[in-house]
Each structure stands twice: as structure tokens, then as C-alpha cells.
Structure 1
Amino acid sequence: MAYHSPVTRHQSVERRGMDTTQQLLKELTEALGVSGYEKGVRAVVRRHLEPLGEIERDRIGSLICHLGEGRPRVMVAGHMDEVGFMVKHITDEGFLRFQPLGGWWDQVLLGQQVIVQTRKGDLRGVIGAKPPHIVPPDERKKLVEKEKMYIDLGATSKAEVEEAGVRIGDPIVPACDFHVLANGKSYLGKAFDDRVGVALMIDLLRHFADAPHPNALYGAATVMEEVGTRGAKTSAEVIDPDVAIILEVDICGDMPDTKPEESRVKLGAGPSLLMMDASMIPNLALRDLLIETAEELGIPL
């Protein structure tokens, strides 16, 4: 069940003023879909892909849209799952202990509003910890680790939580709406990693659905990337591509206290090209093709 917050007059005015890219990003980022529980966001992606080509789904839930026949087969992929949590334990007092799904920096968790997806519907909660007023002075400046945090649903007992529909294993999603910021070209929201890549994939298929191209083109919205790139592996087995281009987010270096050698990426200054990660060493011919094509088209890289 997707969570939809009440629409205020301000939000409805904001939505009417959005262009098609912003509307697509709003739909994708506000959809719920932590790793392994991508049903909500998958429905949104499917709705956008169905008019464009032949749709199939692999055995663990990745969506694949196919345009054209023959070789080479070009796979363009972005992952639709987001980082989140899973219910691990319900205390006698009605608080939830949680297990992270994907990587989390503990500093950003306290005070985060969340949505617990249960069989009876979605429940709002907030992440908390022991109040600083009763923490010893020597511990107040220390990082609170997620193992010492809990989710407060406003319940007062385990029985109340269970009656509301909560079970061990239920997914927990950060609660955050999409907003266009003051400059009109920067956005606030959740799950940009990697709903932005999924939006790019959808936009690319929209273009080539009406434009001639010599390749068999496969757009993939993959699952469970945040817990080990699982969907990328299974969808690649289905597609058997000759080349794959992965649309992912990068780390910007245009923020305070970031050195140029740590990141030279700047927001709004064009796409970046990742040369290597823990699982990939670049194909130099493909690297050269991308760099030279960008130079020919005047695209900063």
C-alpha cells in the first residue's frame, strides 16, 4: 500500500507548477520501495514503461523494457530500491527495534520520520533514543549508534503495536516528500539514489520509442542494489547484453570541507563517469567512446 500524505493547497500549487521531469521525479521518489520490498515503486515504473515497449520481470522483481531486435544488445539500468529498515523486534512497551537495509550513517537517523508498511496499512513513526537529559555527560557528545535507537509509533504496548498490524520483517521507509527548492532547479526528497537513474532510463526509452536506432535497447529498473546489486545480476542474465550502461548517482564536491581530490563533481555541471568500483574495472574502448561522444556533442563530463 503506497503512502499518500494529505495534499495541502501549497503542495497542489507546487505540483501544478512542475515540469514533466519534476513530476516524474516526484512520483518516483515519493513511491515506497526499500530493498526487497519494491512493490510500490515497481508499479509506478511499470505504468511509465508499458506504453514504450515489451515489459518483462525477472524472478526477483526487476523490470525490463525492450525496444528493437538484433545485436548489439544495449542495457541501460538504474536501481529502483532505496535504503530503509526492517522491523527486528517489538518491545513490551510498544517500541520497534530495526535492522538497516542498505548503508546508513547513524548521524542522520535520530528524529527521522518513517513509514512502517504493515498488512493493515501504513503507520507513521519517528526514530528516537534515550533523551540527552538522562545520558551521562561524558556520553552526550558521542555518536548514538542505531542499535540503541528505536521507532516510536505512539503505542504504549506490544499488544497495541501488533493490533495495528506490525509484524517482524515489515519494511520501514523514510518519510519525505519531494519539493522544488527556491532556485527552481534543485530538489529536496528521498531515494534520489537511484530513482534519478530510473527517471533517466524512462526518459531515454521515451525518446527511442519514437526515434530510429540500430540497437536492441533494454531499459532495466533493478531491485536490491542497496543490499548487494542483486537485481543487476539477475536482469543481466535475462538480457544477455553486449554492453551495459549503469545510471547512478555520484558524490558532489561543491560543498563545505570537501577537497578537490575527494570529488571534483559539481551539481548542475554535467554528468560524471565512474571509472572503477569494487566490482568493475572499465572497458577502455567503451570509456573512449563515451568521452569522445561527449566531446563531439559539447557535453561536459
Structure 2
Amino acid sequence: MIDLLRTLTSLHGPSGYEQEVSYFLRDYLKDKADQVEIDPIGNVIAKKKGAKPGPAILLTAHMDEVGFIIKKIEANGLLRFEKLGGNDDRNLVAQPVRLLGEKGHINGVIGTLSAHFAKFDDAQKVRKHSQLYIDVGASSHEEVIDMGIEVGTPVTWGTDLQTLGTAAPKVRAKSLDDRAGCAVILQVLEELADDFAGELICLFTVQEEVGLRGAKTASEYIEADAAIAIDTTAGSDTLEQTMDQTLRLGKGTGIKVMDASLIVPKTMKQQLIKLAKHHHIPYQLEVFTGIGTDGGAVTYANKGIPTGVLSIPSRYTHSAIELVDVGDLLATKDLVKAFVKSVTPDSRFPF
């Protein structure tokens, strides 16, 4: 599963520019699903029938990642940028980035003052992204254009996946939010084959980081009886004063109770808890109003789709160095798989 995650996080798909990821998922799923399509907004939808009749279950994760977009090319070749998604200005300076230019990928860095200038500056100041710039090594406006960069060129973080730790290994990469969720769904589909009842609908959405736009669009025409959204969530187990230790890496998948986008229906929440206990899958209960997921969009769809959410705890979310525990990733996969296998032809999901 780490190899799959390495591949997924190596792809570049900031919100609105997810083509690399969409096309990879479409091709990867061709031999693993009965039907695969990319809808007009870029969502990838894969459907697979189980060995027995039963309800339609929707599994969803978003493929986009937070990023940036070039706003202005300065005369000296430095680049001004805007945010795509919820980047924190404190995390931006001195970080590697990759520009998705017309002639290929281009490495760059978000510039910062040399430490030698600190005594001449306000060391406590956090510069807004509008005051920052990307350096691609160009010396002029013309050189930037020749490199295939223009206003509107999308940008992602420039970091690659690494493994950390030994006893409880972790992975560090860009875009684990939410390529980790995508990897979970792909692995579930691989392991299940057709050993389930009903139909499995796998939805990989675009533009989640800018307002759940892909999920809002797709869920209006997807007919499902219940849904599980899989996403990362911000862990609270580090040493900062604001951390409350309610969601910790290495303690299992997060079963969502409530966030800013939905209150999980009691029947869905209780079913996930019951399955986790029965299969001895480690889990934590999550109440966190600082986040929203595609589950919030799906639950509104049609007449309302009963929706549960599983959260993969993550440190340093929306940065170049997101970090998740491999055990939590596997626990999430195991609980999604247990939920799908628990469905029978007579399964219902009442309020």
C-alpha cells in the first residue's frame, strides 16, 4: 500500500488542475471495475457489481491537493502567486515547489529572507502570501515565459514521499490529504474483488479543497443508499499549546461524529463502531469543527444519503510535509472493507 501511496503522491493535482490524477485513476481502474468514467468536471467514477444483489454503497475520497497559481511575473523573473485551497502563510517560506508548466514540470522554491538579515527585520513577522514570491532561477520576464510558465500556471509542493520510524512506521509526503483516502478505496476494491452484495460506487472527486465542488456536482446524479467518505484529518497529539490530544497518530482510524460540514447519522456512526469492535480494528471518535469533507456534500444529495466518514489522522496537514501512520491507514482500509462486506441484500440505513 505504501508503493501505491508513493505513486499517488508523486502525481500533481492542485484544485482545478487534477488531470494527472484523474487520468491515472481512470487507467488504474479499467481492469478493476465494471465501468469507469471521468465526468465533465473531472471526477472519476468507478462502479463494480458484487456477487449478490443489494444496495448501492458509495465510497468517496478527493484527489485534489492544496496548491498555488501564478498571479504575476515580475521583471526580474520572480513569480507572485495566489493560493489554491487552505494554505497557512506560516508554512510557506523556504519550501520547494513544482510548477506545472506548458513545457513540463519546473522546480522552484518560495523565497525567504536570509538569516543574516534577521537583525534588520521583524523576526516575529509572518509575511502574507501576497508578499512572497516563487524563485525558479529565472533572471527576467522573458526567461520565465520561455520556460513555459505564464499567469495561471498551477503549482504544488515539491516534496516526495519518505518513510519515518521503525516500530510504527509513518509516511511523509505532500498531498496525503487526500491521496491517502484514494489509496484506501483502491486497496479495498482490490481486496474485495466481487465478494460483496450490491454495487460499489467509487467516487474520486476534484476541487474539494476549494469548497467540495466535485462532490457536490457528482453526488447529485449518483444514486446510492449509503456512503462512506474517507479523508485525512488534523491530529492533535503534538506539543503545541492548542493541541488537546483528542485524535492521535497510531491509535486507529477516526470515526467521525461531527465536523463543520455534517453531523454523522447515528445509525452510520454506530454501525462503524460496532464493526470496528467486532473485527478488533483500532478506532477513535472524532469531533472536530475545524474541518469539512466531501461527506458533507454527499449527505445533501438527492433525498439525502446516509453518510459516514472515516478520518486518517495526520500531522502538518496542508503543508509540504504531511505525516500519517501506516497503521492508521490500514485500520481505515480494514473498516471500510468490513462495512462493505457487512452489507446484505436486505440492508437498510434508516434515520
Query: Offset at 1:34?
Result: 0.5
What SS does the aligned partner of 1:240 have? coil
Kindly report which structure 2 residues correspond to 1:194-213, keeping only aligned pairs within 5 A, or say none: 194-211=178-195, 213=196
Match of 1:285 among 245, 248, 267: 267
Aligned length: 279
- Gap change, CA 1:230 and 1:112, over 3 Å in 2: same
What is aligned with 1:3? none
> For 1:138 and 1:95, how far apart are their aligned partners in 2?
21
What is aligned with 1:219? 202
What amino acid sits opposite 2:185 in the alignment? M
What is aligned with 2:123? 140
With normalisation by structure 1, the TM-score equals 0.87
What is aligned with 1:123? 106
Match of 2:175 among 171, 181, 191: 191
Identity of aligned residues (%): 36
- 1:250-283, CA deviations, whole angstroms, 9 ceiling, x for partnerless residues? 22233223667x3422222211112222221221
Kindly report which structure 2 residues correspond to 1:238-257, keeping only aligned pairs within 5 A, or say none: 238-257=221-240
- 1:36-59, CA deviations, whole angstroms, 9 ceiling, x for partnerless residues? 111112222223211111102222
Query: Offset at 1:132?
Result: 5.8
More strand by share: 2
> For 1:129 and 1:252, how far apart are their aligned partners in 2?
28
Query: Offset at 1:137?
Result: 4.4
> Are 2:11 and 1:44 equivalent residues in the alignment?
no
What amino acid sits opposite 1:180 in the alignment? T
> For 1:99 and 1:247, how far apart are their aligned partners in 2?
28
What is aligned with 1:78? 61
Whether the 8 Å contact between 1:83 and 1:101 is mirrored in structure 2 is yes
> Are 2:268 and 1:268 equivalent residues in the alignment?
no
Query: Offset at 1:209?
Result: 2.1
What is aligned with 2:92? 109
Please, what is the CA RMSD of the aligned residues? Answer: 1.9
> Are 2:42 and 1:61 equivalent residues in the alignment?
yes
Whether the 8 Å contact between 2:26 and 2:37 is mirrored in structure 1 is no
Query: Offset at 1:27?
Result: 0.1
What is aligned with 1:6? none
Whether the 8 Å contact between 2:64 and 2:178 is mirrored in structure 1 is yes
- 1:116-162, CA deviations, whole angstroms, 9 ceiling, x for partnerless residues? 11111111111014556557746222112211100011111111111
- Gap change, CA 1:75 and 1:258, over 3 Å in 2: farther
What is aligned with 1:24? 4
> For 2:236 and 2:22, how far apart are their aligned partners in 1?
32
Query: Offset at 1:244?
Result: 1.3
What is aligned with 1:15? none
> For 2:261 and 2:124, how far apart are their aligned partners in 1?
37
Query: Offset at 1:208?
Result: 2.3
With normalisation by structure 2, the TM-score equals 0.75
What is aligned with 1:161? 144
Whether the 8 Å contact between 2:36 and 2:47 is mirrored in structure 1 is yes
Q: Indicate the larger mover: 147-156 or 128-137.
A: 128-137
What SS does the aligned partner of 2:234 have? coil
> Are 2:271 and 1:295 equivalent residues in the alignment?
no
What SS does the aligned partner of 1:276 have? strand
Whether the 8 Å contact between 1:29 and 1:192 is mirrored in structure 2 is yes
Query: Offset at 1:299?
Result: 1.7
4+ residue segments displaced more than 6 Å: none
Whether the 8 Å contact between 1:129 and 1:148 is mirrored in structure 2 is no
- Gap change, CA 1:264 and 1:134, over 3 Å in 2: closer
What SS does the aligned partner of 1:116 have? strand
> For 2:191 and 2:130, how far apart are their aligned partners in 1?
46
What amino acid sits opposite 1:291 in the alignment? I
Whether the 8 Å contact between 1:251 and 1:263 is mirrored in structure 2 is no
What SS does the aligned partner of 1:139 have? coil
Whether the 8 Å contact between 1:28 and 1:45 is mirrored in structure 2 is no
What is aligned with 2:132? 149
- 1:73-102, CA deviations, whole angstroms, 9 ceiling, x for partnerless residues? 111011010000000001111111001001
